[in-house]
Amino acid sequence: MSTRAPFTVAVIQDGVLATPQQTLDATVVRIRDAAKKGAQVICLKELFNAPYFCKKLDSSRFDLAEPVDGQTVTTLSKLAKELQVVLVVPIYEKQGPGVYRNSAVVIDADGTPLGVYRKMHIPHDPLFEEKYYFAPGESDNPVQPAGLRGPTAEAGGFMVWKTRYATIGVLICWDQWYPEGARITSLLGADILFYPTAIGWHPAEKAEWGTAQADAWRTAQRAHAIANGVFVAAPNRVGFEPEAGTDGIEFFGHSFIVDPYGRYLAQAGTDEDTLIATCDPALIEYTRRNWPFLRDRRVDAYEPILARWIGH
């Protein structure tokens, strides 16, 4: 069995304030509180310091993007070093002129930014116009910003980082519906998959579909934990965010942390909350010995999955 020490994670479920700086300041307070309660690895929601700006096309919103070495990551790197915590910081990244990404920066407990995961699957739905704002992550030798160490392991654009406390994988929101991303990231050695998220209800659909949508969101990710024998943690945002010319979006929260059996270690409702749970790597080994899904994979038979469609 594993002799590695258990690690304690936190996910922060919250909304946004009037400005990015106000949101950053409030997030610092939440991170300090989570660290005080024992959290060692802390993950924020998708695009944590901005409103969800993808509800319509507006070129001025490219101004919200910032480089990885900008104020936000610099501030949180100093905080990570002070508190000796690992941070997963999802930001709107300006990689270069005209190239913008939906990204997450992993900062180790010594304050060193280790690298950047860039969202691989980009949705295009009413009120989720992300293809306009984000280039997808690269599937072949993704470029890391200068001065960053990069991932411990990488395959096809999916990555893991060996941090002080755990080996972590990060996927972002729409990625959570794809078992391929979870499987590859797990095979790279992740102890836990983090899914920072911004998902919510269209107000006109909530009465008919709201419960089913939230349940499907959690069920899909719990299945990743079970199928891969890993811990999974998903922080979602909360609150109603209006948008002129639309009905807005109500972000439904329901953040959670589950173990390799898909059992809830912590779960939230629709209010702001910080979830904290301790994850024992020994349970990963135990689960995979008794449910040897990775051993029994037919890797010789899976080439058809590379096709977009194989039906007639």
Rounded to whole angstroms, what are the CA distances from 198 to 41, 130, 174, 293? Answer: 20, 12, 9, 30
- Find the catalytic residue in 54, 93, 94, 173: 173
Q: Which residue in this structure is represented by tokens 């909304």?
A: 15
The token pair that represents 302 in the structure block: 């899976």
From the number of C-beta atoms within 10 Å of its C-beta (0-12, 13-18, 19+), residue 308 rates as exposed
- Find the catalytic residue in 43, 46, 154, 241: 46
Question: Is residue 46 annotated as part of the catalytic site, yes or no?
Answer: yes
Neighbours of 301 (CB within 10 A): 8
Residue spans of beta strands (DSSP E) within the chain: 7-13, 41-43, 86-96, 99-107, 113-118, 153-155, 158-162, 167-170, 192-194, 200-201, 231-234, 238-241, 249-252, 256-258, 264-267, 273-279
Using an 8 Å Cβ cutoff, are 105 and 33 in contact?
no
- Find the catalytic residue in 119, 130, 154, 241: 119
DSSP label at 59? G
Q: Which residues are marked as active site?
A: 46, 119, 173
